Amino acid sequence: MAGTPASTGSFPRAAACPGPFDALAITGQLDVEEIHRWDRMPLWGHSWRVSLQGALDLVNQTLSIESVGRGQDPAPLSVRLDVERYLTQPDWRLGFVWSGFPLDPLAPIARHLGLPLPEDARLSGSVDGSVTVSRRDMLEGAVQLRDAAMVLAGGPPVRFARADLLLQRDTVTLPPAQVEIPDQGSVQVQGSYSSLSGLLTASIRTAGLPSAAFRLQAFGIPEPLPDAMREGRWSGELRYRQERNTTGAWSGQAVITHAAFPVPGLAAPVQLSRGVLTVNGPGWRLTDVRASAGGVEFGGDYDAAASTFRLRLGETDLAQLEALFEPSLLRPGGFLARTLRLGRPAAPRWLAARRLSGGIQAEALVLGPARFTGVSGRLRWDGTRIELSQLRARIEGGSVLANGAIDLAGSEPSYAINVLGERIAWRNGRLTIDGDFAASGAGSNLLATLGSEGMFELAGAPAGFDSLAGCYRLDLTRTPSLRLSELRAAAGSEIYLGTGALRDDGTLLVELESGARQLRVIGTLAGLRVEHPPGWSADPD
């Protein structure tokens, strides 16, 4: 059949042809060997020897040959060849009928015909059905696989109780078939392949299967799930499409459960309890996430193609978050680098390449004794820089709005944040503050590097004042230092102006005056008292 688009073979064994010219009887044997697609030459051949009989009509240019079975039982393989007008307008038709034919010998033929069957695949089971190859219609027919199983080296057997294959012209179609993987689950598969166009389509559907149960790369097909989702189980439907000379792509949706995967920059792997995975070509999204990492529980969504996310937290201690992100925040370097102060250690490749942006929500964030509730904001992670914007929260009956950045280029993080706090309850009053805060390091070292300056206003101020407003400058990097300037204190209709500072003994001294009146407010921030100068009188006159 050399020259057919579907397959190529050879028939080297001769046959005896006694009889008249218009009815020559043919008997003999046929060797079918080296069956392969016209554009594929096998390294070795596989053949079957079939006894045959038929007739040749030299007058009408017709030839009919069919195989002959042994005994009364049907032969596992029957063959029939019909040829017309072989000298003028050749037309031929070759038919195969299988009846309980073993599958294993068909594996090399499938590879020679271009099907992506792995070399280490072992087949068992039997095939029934018929296929016709003709000059006009190419392939036509249907076969049925019974009790079929395929085993790849190192993998569990994949079993088909029954699977039908439909062949029409250049296309092989697999209608929906149930596949059983022992001790793991079942999956429904279907697909089609066209040898002319090179179009391959497939779909897999399951109610629950380990993510690593399939080894599709062995078939030249990319894995449908992202690397991070290879653990755990999945359910849903995924579809594959590949055209000739192109990279195939998956699409569809699956629910992923009980997966665990590492994320560069986190101190603990992510434990994914559940998430809905949507695949669309090389891009994928994970939504409705329920997960945890390092004891921090979270939910949200992630879009890998757009590098965007939505993160939802419950009540979370910021110290716990800091510990989880420690590999991202701290990069101490080697002994010589630390000893000789050789400068900033290089950022790891994963950190330099990280690009993320998204929204954050938290039921509450706890920082020491402070508890921020209803937290929301935006985060943009660009390599060694993290930007925080429109970070809002409630605390002590007031509100907080923060914007700032975290610099990860050094061996430890540096923070620069502007905070606007309004009407926060403090010592029977309400504090409003607008300040810039800067610090570096982590844990307890962070407070020791804190610096801040800005403006404040305290309504219902201590020490008998109705309000106290001014500017402040705080520095905890060496000896704790606090300076207050442009102070304006109101007591009834009286307005006092002045300054203040933290003294060496840790007490705060504020000096105020209103005309001839002078006041000194002294004490700790937790308890201030007013000291009047000698001869002071409540009556200004």
Distance between CA atoms of 14 and 324, rounded to whole angstroms? 78
Cα three-residue angle 147-151-153, rounded to 5 degrees:
170
* Confidence (pLDDT) at 54: 86
**DSSP β-ladder status, 355-367 and 308-317:** parallel
* Confidence (pLDDT) at 152: 77
Distance between CA atoms of 264 and 331, rounded to whole angstroms? 13
Q: Which two tokens stand for residue 6?
A: 């579907």
469 and 434 Cβ atoms separated by less than 8 Å: no
* Confidence (pLDDT) at 240: 94
Q: Is the pLDDT score of 460 beyond 90?
A: no
Confidence band of 224 (pLDDT split at 50, 70, 90): confident
* Confidence (pLDDT) at 70: 67
Q: Is residue 130 part of a domain?
A: yes
Q: Is residue 50 part of a domain?
A: yes
Spell out the residues 6+ positions from residue 390 whose beta carbon is closer than 8 angstroms to its own: 376, 377, 378, 401, 403
Distance between CA atoms of 326 and 320, rounded to whole angstroms? 10
For residue range 274-315, list pLDDT tens digits in order.
Answer: 999 999 988 999 999 999 999 999 999 999 999 999 999 999
DSSP secondary structure letter of residue 219: G
Between 237-251, 259-273, 411-425, 521-535, the lowest mean confidence (pLDDT) is in 521-535
Q: Is residue 397 part of a domain?
A: no
* Confidence (pLDDT) at 157: 80
| C-alpha torsion angle, residues 250, 256, 258, 264 (rounded to 10) | 60
Q: Is the pLDDT score of 528 beyond 70?
A: no
For residue range 473-495, list pLDDT tens digits in order.
Answer: 999 988 889 999 999 999 888 99
Q: Is residue 60 part of a domain?
A: yes
Is residue 326 within a helix (H) or strand (E), and if so which, with residue range? helix 326-329
Q: Is residue 4 part of a domain?
A: yes
Number of domains, the chain: 1
Residue-by-residue DSSP string for 498-540: EEEEE-TTS-EEEEEEETTEEEEEEEETTEEEEEPPTT--SS-
Confidence band of 427 (pLDDT split at 50, 70, 90): confident
pTM for this predicted structure: 0.79
Q: Which of 391, 462, 461, 403 shows the shortest CA–CA distance to 437? A: 403
Q: Is 369 helix (H, G, I), strand (E, B) or coil?
A: coil
* Confidence (pLDDT) at 515: 86
Q: Which of 50, 45, 38, 51 shows the shortest CA–CA distance to 133? A: 38
Please compute the mean of the pLDDT values over residues 48-72 and round it to a whole number: 81
* Confidence (pLDDT) at 5: 42
Give the residue numbers spanning the domain of 14: 1-152
Q: Is residue 38 part of a domain?
A: yes
Percent of the residues in the chain that have a pLDDT greater than 90, as a whole number: 47
Strand-pairing partners, residue 517, are: 514
* Confidence (pLDDT) at 399: 98
Q: Is residue 114 part of a domain?
A: yes
Terminal alpha carbon distance of the chain: 125
For residue range 16-35, list pLDDT tens digits in order.
Answer: 566 787 888 888 776 665 55
Q: Is 541 helix (H, G, I), strand (E, B) or coil?
A: coil
Distance between CA atoms of 152 and 120, rounded to whole angstroms? 6
Highest mean pLDDT (candidates 133-142, 316-325, 497-506) = 316-325
Strand-pairing partners, residue 51, are: 29
For residue 343, with 0-12 CB atoms within 10 Å meaning exposed, 13-18 middle and 19 or more buried, which class applies?
A: exposed
3-state helix, strand, coil in the chain (%, to 5): 5, 60, 35
Question: What are the CA-CA distances from residue 138 to residues 8, 91, 93, 132 (Å)?
Answer: 12, 12, 9, 8
For residue range 388-404, list pLDDT tens digits in order.
Answer: 999 999 999 999 999 99
Distance between CA atoms of 406 and 437, rounded to whole angstroms? 12
Spell out the residues 6+ positions from residue 334 whose beta carbon is closer than 8 angstroms to its own: none
For residue range 34-59, list pLDDT tens digits in order.
Answer: 554 444 444 444 556 677 888 888 88
Distance between CA atoms of 195 and 216, rounded to whole angstroms? 20
Q: Is the pLDDT score of 339 beyond 70?
A: no
Q: Is residue 373 part of a domain?
A: no
Distance between CA atoms of 340 and 343, rounded to whole angstroms? 9
Task: Say how many CA atoms lie within 13 Å of 105 toward its Cβ.
Answer: 16
